[in-house]
Amino acid sequence: MPNRLNDPLFQLIKSLEKSEKRNFKLFVKRNSSSDDLKSIQLFDALDKMSEYDEATLLRKNKSIRKQQLSNMKAHLYRQLLASLRIIRDEDNIDIRLHELMDYARILYNKGLYLQTLKALKQFKDLAREHQQISYLQQALFFEKKIETLYITRSMQDRADILSNESDFVTNSLSLVNRLSNLSIQLYSWYIQHGHARNEKDMRSIQVFFQSHLPENAKTAEGFYEKLYLYQSYCWYAFIRLDFLQYYRYSQKWVDLFDTHPQMLAVETATYIKGMHNLMGAHFDLMNHGKLEKDIRRFELFARTKLVKQNDNNRILTYQYLYTARINLYFLQGTFEKGIKMVPFLEEMLREYEIYLDTHRVLVFYYKIACLYFGSGDNEKAIDYLNRIINQKADLRTDLQCYSRLLHLIAHYELGNFELLEYLIKSVYRYMAKMENLSKVEEEMFAFLRRSFHVGAHALTPEFEKLLHKLKKYEGNPLESRAFAYLDVISWLESKINKVNVQDVIREKYAQRRKNDPTQ
C-alpha cells in the first residue's frame, strides 16, 4: 500500500533540492564500493516515485532483494544525512558551535591544552553572542576538566572565575527550563482542548499557570528567559480568550527580536511563530489596520534569505501568511475574494503534505469552510467540514465541535430538514459529551428545534428573538469562544435582512472604518 507520509527515507529524499541531490551523488561516488553504488540505485528508484510503495519498488528493481531492503534503506538514510552535513550553513549557529567544539577536542586529544582553551574561548564568545546557554555549560565542563589535569596558569583566580560562570549558567538554564516547560504544557493544553470552555477550565488553567510560573520570572534578563515567559503569557491569555493580553505578549515576543537582532538567524522559526500569533491577535481584536500592516511586513520577510533558503522556515511562513490573509478577508467581509485563494491553498497542502501536522491542516479546512459559508456556498462548506468531522485524530476538540455546529447550520441553510433532526441530536450529544455547550450554543439548539415547527413566514421574528438573546452574551468571557469560532450574530443579521453573511460583515467593516479612519 502507498505510504508516503510514514516512510522517513522517502520523506527525506522528497525534501531534497536539486543541488542537495547532486551533492549526495558526488559524496557517495568518492568511495564507489558496490554497496555505495546500490545506495545510488535505491536513491534513484525512490526519487522517481510519487508515492512510497514497497511492492512496486521491489518489482521494478530486481537487483534489490526484500531481505536487503531494510538495511539498505538505513544505510542510505545515514549517507544522506552525512552528505547534507558537509554542506556548510554559515548562518546555522549550532553547526558553527559544533565545529568549534570539534576543533577544541582534537587539540585536547593532542595534549595542546593552551590551544584548546583558546578554541574554547572563541566557542564561548560565539555562544554568549547568540545566547546559547547550554553550549556555555559544555565549554565550562570542558575547561574545568582541563584545569584538573593541567595547571595552565592562563589566568589568576581561575577556579573562582570558572565556578562563578558555572553558577550563572546553571541558574539561567534552570529558569529557561522551567519557563519552557510552562510554555509547552500550556500549548499542549490548547492543542488538546482549544479555548477554556467553562469556569472549571478557567480556574484550572489559572491555578496551573500561577503555580508553575517561577517567582523570579519577571526579572529575567536573557533572551530565552524572556522568550519563554512571553510565550507562556501568550498561551495563557489565548486559552482564556483574553485577546488584549494575548496581543500585548505577542507584540513583546516579536519586539524581542528587534532588541536582539542577532537572534533572528538563530531562532527564525520562533520569530515566524511570534508573527503568526501577533497577526492572530490583530484578527481577534478586529484590528484590520494593524493586521494589514503586519501582513505587509511578513510578506517582505518571506522574501529574505532566511526564509527562501530554509525549507522549514519557508513552509511555516507560507502557512501563516495564508492564514493571516484569510483572516483579513473575514474582517473585511470579502469572502468571495478569499475563495479565489482556495486552489493555491489546496496546492500548498498537497505540496507540503509530508511536513504539515494534522492540527494545521484541520485549521485550514475550517477557515476554507467558513469562506464558503460566508459567501453563501453551503455545499462546498459542508465538503470541507466533513474532512474535519471524519478526522479521527484526538486534536482540538473545540474545532471538532464547531465544525459540527457549522455543518448543522449549513444543512439548515440548504433546507435539508429530513437530515436536520438527526444532526441536531447527534451534534448536541457530541458537544455535551465534550462539555462544550455554552449558553450561546444552548440557545442555538433550542432555536433550531423550534424552527421545525415554525412556518417560513414566521421565521424572521424567531431570528430576531434569538439575536436579542445572544447579544446579551457578547462581552462575556465564557461565551466569547462561540463568537470567536462562528460569527453567529452576523449570520442571524443576514437571515433577518435576507442577504449573505459576507454582506453583513462588509457593512460592519465599512462602518468601523468610517468611525475610526486610522483603522
Long-range pairs for 426-430 at CB < 8 Å and ≥24 separation? 430/400, 430/401, 430/404
User: In the prediction, which pLDDT does 423 show?
Assistant: 85
Among 486, 392, 395, smallest CA distance to 438 is for: 486
CATH code of the domain covering residue 398: 1.25.40
Residue 354 has pLDDT above 70, yes or no: yes
- Cell numbers at 388, concatenated: 474535519
> What is 261-329 written as a DSSP string?
GGGTTTSHHHHHHHHHHHHHHHHHTT-HHHHHHHHHHHHHHHTSHHHHT-HHHHHHHHHHHHHHHHHHH
Range of the domain at 265: 241-332
463 vs 154, more confident? 463
Instruction: Judge whether 213 lies within some domain.
Output: no
Grid cell listed for 230: 512571553
Residue 511: strand, helix, or coil: helix
Sign of CA dihedral 245, 397, 321, 381: negative
Alpha-carbon distance of 326 to 331, in angstroms, equals 9
Give residue 60's pLDDT.
Answer: 84
457 located within any domain: yes
Mean of all residue pLDDT scores within the chain: 85
Query: Does residue 58 surpass a pLDDT of 50?
Result: yes
Q: Within a domain: residue 116? A: no
Q: Is there a single domain that holds both residue 306 and residue 446?
A: no
pLDDT of 310 over the 50 cut: yes
430 by Cβ neighbours in 10 Å (0-12 / 13-18 / 19+) ranks as middle
| Whether pLDDT at 175 is above 70 | yes
Q: Which of 67-76, 169-178, 307-316, 391-400 is the least confident region?
A: 391-400
C-alpha to C-alpha distance for 230 and 246, rounded to whole angstroms: 10
Mean pLDDT of 439-454: 75
Give tens-digit pLDDT for 416-425: 878 877 888 8
Verify that 310 and 418 share a domain, yes or no: no
- Residues 422 and 497 reside in one and the same domain: yes
Asked if residue 298 has pLDDT above 90, the reply is yes
393 and 473 inside one domain: yes
Domain count, the chain: 3
Distance from the Cα of residue 427 to its chain's centroid: 28
Residue 208 lies in a domain: no
Is the per-residue pLDDT at 1 higher than 50?
no
Same domain, 297 and 441: no
**Pair (415, 517) in one structural domain:** yes
End residue of a domain, out of 85, 109, 124: 85
Same structural domain, 300 and 261: yes
Alpha carbons 2 and 55: distance in angstroms, whole number: 9
Do 271 and 375 lie in one domain? The reply is no
Structural domain contains residue 104:
no
User: Which of 55, 85, 115 is the C-terminal boundary of a domain?
Assistant: 85
**Residues 308, 375 within the same domain:** no
Last residue of a domain, one of 85, 114, 142: 85
Structure-block grid coordinates of residue 305: 534569505
Q: What's the Cα-to-Cα distance from 192 to each of 154, 167, 185, 212, rounded to whole Å?
A: 54, 38, 11, 19
- The x, y and z cell numbers of residue 347, run together, are 496546492
Mean pLDDT for 185-191 is 90
Average pLDDT over residues 460-475: 82
- Report, as an integer, the average pLDDT of 230-259: 95
Q: In this model, does residue 2 exceed pLDDT 60?
A: no
Q: How confident is the model at residue 3 (pLDDT cuts 50, 70, 90)?
A: very low
Q: Which residues neighbour 401 within 8 Å (Cβ) at sequence distance 6 or greater?
A: 430, 431, 434, 436
d(Cα 491, Cα 381) in Å, to the nearest integer?
Answer: 15
**Alpha-carbon torsion (473, 479, 480, 482), positive or negative:** negative
Is 403 inside a domain boundary?
Answer: yes
Average pLDDT over residues 223-242: 94
Q: What is the mean pLDDT of residues 275-299?
A: 94
pLDDT of residue 254: 97
What's the pLDDT at 301? 96
* pLDDT value for 182: 95
326/359 same-domain check:
no
pLDDT value of residue 399: 79
Is residue 34 predicted with pLDDT exceeding 60? no
Q: What separation in angstroms does the CA of 480 have from each of 234, 239, 438, 448, 477?
A: 17, 11, 10, 21, 5
Do residues 309 and 380 share a domain? Answer: no
Mean pLDDT across the stretch 324-340?
91
Same domain? For 443 and 400 the reply is yes
Mean pLDDT, residues 362-379: 91
* Spatial separation of the C-alpha atoms in residues 294 and 302, rounded to whole Å: 12
What is the rounded CA–CA span in Å between residue 466 and residue 444? Answer: 8
Tell me whether residue 174 is in a domain.
no
Q: What is the pLDDT of residues 60-87, one digit of tens each?
A: 888 888 888 888 899 899 888 888 877 7
Residue 387 inside a domain? The answer is yes
